[in-house]
Amino acid sequence: MSAFLIAAAVGASLFLTAYLVLWNLSQIAMSPVAAVYLWTHQRRNTRRARALVTRMAFRPLVSVVVPAYNEQLTIVESIRALLALDYDPFEIVVVNDGSTDETLSLLKDTFHLLAAPHAFVQPLPTAPVLGLYRSTRYPGLVVIDKDNGKCKADAANAGINAASGALVAIIDADTILERDALIRAVTPFLENSKTVAVGGNVGIANGCRIFDGRVAEVALPRNWLARFQIVEYMRSFLLFRLACASCNGVVLISGAFGLFRRDAVLAVGGYDATAIGEDLDLTMRLQRHFRGTGQRFRIGFDPNPLAWTQAPEDWRSLRSQRYRWRRGLLQVLWRYRRLIGNPRFGIVGLGVLPYAAVFEGLAPLLELTGYIVVLLGTLSGLLSPLFWQVAVAVSVLAGSAITFTAVVLSDLGTRRYMRGRDLVLLVIVVLVENCGYRQLNSWWACVGTYHTLTGKRGWGEMKRKAFEGA
Amino acid sequence: MLTIAPFERLTALMFRTELIVALGTIVAVIVERAVFAYWSAWRERTELRYRTLVSRALAGDDAATSALVDSPARHRLVLAALLILPLIEDRDPERISATRRIVGALSLVPIADRFLRSRLWWRRALALRALGLTQITDRSASIVAALDDRNRNVRAAALDALTDLQDPTTLQAVVVRLHDRSLPRGRRIAALTAFGTECEPFLLDLAEIDPDHRLDYARALATCGTERSRTALCLWTSDRRAEVQAAAVEALAHVGLDENAARLAIKALDSEHESVRAMAALALRHWTGPGDAAARLGRHLGDTWPVALCAAQSLQAMGPVGHVELQANAGRQDLAGDLARQMLWERQPQC
């Protein structure tokens, strides 16, 4: 029995170690791919290239759709900032998704809204629209008041229905856009008629000084949870997504900011109200639709921060968010399981989805299992303490090295955190993040998996706060 | 307790490797940042040093130009950036001419020539952009030649350069590449936009001998056509391809209608193709001449959504005749009524 236990413990430890080594190696392999993409992007997207929009006689109308549910703290400032975007022509379609706070009345008072007739067809089904308001002061501002659809997807679909533009930008109500975000995002559509969607890097606004609805000064937040999320975002946006973007395999355009060809979104049926990660699901459906029908298409990705968003600063909100993300990932993997390994879907079927299933899907479960097996094995004397060294090496040290690579890429590409103090802090955050926070995330992912299996639903609550320095 | 000798050695190796990699990446972050900080500070200092001189030189101060000419060779690229980059947004001919004079005095053109021969595509692209922005027309041939460069980014930069150069001798080279799918679509359109109506005769000549690409010509004429194109566009409204018909009617909307064109546009409202009907509705937006355009548009308020929207917008733009038609439809309890009411509401004083 004892020999069997020892063999099982050693076998499990070796398997988990090999798995984690492979996972780390795959991420390290992504770094040069991401670096080349970033470097080429920076060389190509010069100031002159961005001036293309201003050199065009006719520019496409962009409709910026802002789903808003109980956003009284940030909505006015967000809309003011949107009205000052550097692009012409564009309209803003705010969708008040049955807010129970002062969101609608604040909008009405601040932007001089009047109930107005506004005709639009509704190709995407949504909860009933109660009324439509237009601003007498800002002709491009439309506010739709509708019944609560219990999800962002429903509100976004209502906005897409009412949008007049050939391009629709879907953003969160608390997203802060860079002044030239639309110019940057529209350019790939002008350059390549096959472009159906463009996503961008999303930065974390916590700690930044916000002035006039713009990020005026980038700084690290005081809150450690927000700091951890900054390095997580760097890793996610600058390794996996850039590597995917380099082969037209982007499967997630963040809900914080994405620009889509309206007809493409309508062709795939808009956002799915039953999807937990509606942004991931929509991007996946675009990939499936265009690859499945053999149409040439492109989903672009701008590695520069086009938008800034608020990260949760309390444990409860963060935990809810992570549960939701996990359920969203598993739902998408299950929904699109037929694509996995299918050569008809190109890099998405053969590379991105299998990677997501094997590593994103399983890694948290196996990582935690690994810690438990090694801990129990060592405590019971079955395993040598050497196994702990391996666990630390492949988990903490390799994890830190990968995150540092993302920090270097972020620094080379975007020069976000310019103060020396922030740099030192960033190094500390990376080291600390791998000693506890990451493992906690893995735990939340395991709980999220359990929720998925038991059919638990709900968005959880996200505590909102006004922007700093606003 | 289990210890395996090879595993032990592997573990030690792995631990050391990971530790070195982690420390190495920390060092990489710090070194990269230090190098960048040094380079930024140097550039900032250099720019600060020359900014006033550049402004004075651009204002015509010969002493300032001489001071710039005497600057060390290692400062040339910073100076080039200070002089040339503002021209991306500021296309004032006087400023361009003053910049070109200083660029010549600083011997930056030979540097651009050297960059044009570089094996690195980003250097070739940089040189092309600089030559275009400063409108150095005696390098037009090199820029046109770069349209056939092996690198697509360089080809795109060459097109940008021709857009900025606005040299009439390069016009033909731009127009014949209208269908060149290896060049970014938006930049091809931007180049045509920059040349404006000068492209029109070439486009019409080419369209005559190349009817297969009529769609592209029609779209181009929608950007830079004048009434001179009207006859050809009217002819194309009866092309067998629906997309050509739609593009021709759209271009007619841009160049403006005469009686014959308006008659054809009204006829196109009965097309079986939605895109043609929509463009026809759009083309009639300022037409108040003969024909029953307003009444016909009014009937299309109940058409498919894209056609109805274009019809409603045209009626709104038509003035009193269109308003009468909108009023007549405003009582309807369907989408056409909603559209009519929206268009009338938008014309009210509160908007």
DSSP A344-355: GGHHIIIIIHHH
Averaged pLDDT score across all residues of chain A: 88
Residue contact B15–A48, C-beta within 8 A: no
**Rounded-to-integer distance, Cα B277 and Cα B279, Å:** 6
- What is the structure's pLDDT at B29? 78
What is each CA distance from A404 to A412, A422, B27, in whole angstroms? 12, 14, 10
Helix (H, G, I), strand (E, B) or coil at A460: coil
Residue contact A404–B19, C-beta within 8 A: no
Does any CB of chain A come closer than 8 Å to the CB of residue B24? yes
Query: In a 10 Å sphere around its CB, with 0-12 CB exposed, 13-18 middle and 19+ buried, how is residue B241 labelled?
Result: middle
φ, ψ for residue A217 (rounded to 5)?
A: -145, 125
Q: Is the pLDDT score of B280 beyond 50?
A: yes
Averaged pLDDT score across all residues of chain B: 89
Most confident of B123-137, B192-206, B315-329, B337-351: B123-137
Mean pLDDT along residues B278-306: 89
Q: β-strands A167-171, A62-68: how paired?
A: parallel
Closest CA to B18 of A374, A396, A236, A385: A396
How far is Cα of residue B249 from the mean position of the Cα atoms in its chain? 23
- CB A212 within 8 Å of CB A84: yes
Does any CB of chain B come closer than 8 Å to the CB of residue A296? no
**Rounded-to-integer distance, Cα A27 and Cα A25, Å:** 5
Does any CB of chain A come closer than 8 Å to the CB of residue B129? yes
- Give tens-digit pLDDT for A239-260: 889 999 999 999 999 999 999 9
Residue contact B18–A117, C-beta within 8 A: no
Q: Is the pLDDT score of A92 beyond 90?
A: yes
A6 vs B contacts (CB less than 8 Å)? 2
- Give tens-digit pLDDT for A321-338: 999 999 999 999 999 999
- CB A211 within 8 Å of CB A114: no
Q: Is the pLDDT score of A420 beyond 80?
A: no
Q: Is the pLDDT score of A10 beyond 80?
A: no
**Cβ neighbours of residue B161 under 8 Å, at least 6 residues apart?**
B128, B129, B131, B132, B133, B143, B146
- Give tens-digit pLDDT for A197-224: 999 888 888 888 888 778 888 888 999 9
Residue A170: strand pairing partners: A65, A258
Mean pLDDT along residues A359-369: 88
Of A116-120, A128-132, A151-155, B10-14, which gets the smallest average pLDDT? B10-14
Q: Using CB atoms, pick whichever of B3, B125, B186 lies closest to residue A52.
A: B186
Q: Is the pLDDT score of A457 beyond 70?
A: no
Cis, peptide link before residue A385, omega less than 30° from 0: no
Mean pLDDT along residues B108-129: 94
Does any CB of chain B come closer than 8 Å to the CB of residue A350? no
Number of residues that this document lists for chain B: 351
Q: Which amino acid is at B333?
A: Q
In A69-136 the beta strands, taken as DSSP E runs, fall at: 90-97, 113-115, 129-135
Interface test with B, best of A20, A41, A42, A55 (most B CBs within 10 A): A55
What percent of chain B has a predicted confidence (pLDDT) above 70? 97
Mean pLDDT along residues B198-211: 90
**Rounded-to-integer distance, Cα A281 and Cα A329, Å:** 9
- What is the structure's pLDDT at B115? 95
- CB B321 within 8 Å of CB B291: no
- Complex ipTM: 0.83
At residue B249 the predicted structure's pLDDT band, cuts being 50, 70 and 90, is: very high
Q: Identify the closest residue of chain B to A3 by CA–CA distance.
A: B2
Does any CB of chain A come closer than 8 Å to the CB of residue B216? no
B342 vs A contacts (CB less than 8 Å)? 116-119
- What is the structure's pLDDT at A214? 83
Instruction: Give A412 or B229, the one with higher predicted confidence.
Output: B229
- The residue behind tokens 């006689």 is A57
Q: Is the pLDDT score of B8 beyond 70?
A: no
- What is the structure's pLDDT at A470? 44
DSSP B150-182: SSHHHHHHHHHHHHHH--GGGHHHHHTTTT-TT
Min Cα–Cα distance to chain A from B350, Å: 6
Does any CB of chain B come closer than 8 Å to the CB of residue A373? no
Residue contact A394–B28, C-beta within 8 A: no
Residue A142: strand pairing partners: A93, A134
Question: Exposed e or buried b for every residue in A48-83, given b needs 16+ CB within 10 A?
Answer: bbebbbebbeebbbbbbbbbbbbbbbbbbbbbebbb
Residue contact B36–A405, C-beta within 8 A: no
Interface test with A, best of B7, B18, B38, B313 (most A CBs within 10 A): B18
Interface test with A, best of B25, B301, B351 (most A CBs within 10 A): B25
- Give tens-digit pLDDT for A62-85: 999 999 999 888 899 889 989 989
- What is the structure's pLDDT at B7? 66
Does any CB of chain A come closer than 8 Å to the CB of residue B39? no
Residue contact B25–A56, C-beta within 8 A: no
Alpha helix stretches (DSSP H) within A315-385: 315-335, 346-347, 353-355, 363-379
- What is the structure's pLDDT at A372? 85
- What is the structure's pLDDT at B179? 85
Does any CB of chain A come closer than 8 Å to the CB of residue B27? no
Q: Hey, what are A211's tokens?
A: 């002035």
Residue contact A394–B338, C-beta within 8 A: no
Residue contact B122–A43, C-beta within 8 A: yes
B223 vs A contacts (CB less than 8 Å)? 57-58
Residue contact A136–B350, C-beta within 8 A: yes
Residue A95: strand pairing partners: A67, A144
What percent of chain B has a predicted confidence (pLDDT) above 90? 58
Interface list for B 68-107 with A (CB within 8 A) = 85, 88-89
Question: Exposed e or buried b for every residue in B115-149, given b needs 16+ CB within 10 A?
Answer: bbeeeebbbbbbbbbbbbbbbbbebbebbbebbeb
Closest CA to A280 of A236, A310, A235, A230: A236
- What is the structure's pLDDT at B2? 52
- CB B344 within 8 Å of CB B327: yes
- Give tens-digit pLDDT for B13-53: 777 777 787 788 788 878 888 888 888 899 999 999 999 99
Angle, nearest 10°, between helix axes A315-335 and A278-292?
Answer: 20
Does any CB of chain B come closer than 8 Å to the CB of residue A398? yes
Does any CB of chain B come closer than 8 Å to the CB of residue A129? no
B29 vs A contacts (CB less than 8 Å)? 404, 407-408, 411, 423, 426-427
How far is Cα of residue B73 from the mean position of the Cα atoms in its chain? 35
Min Cα–Cα distance to chain A from B190, Å: 5
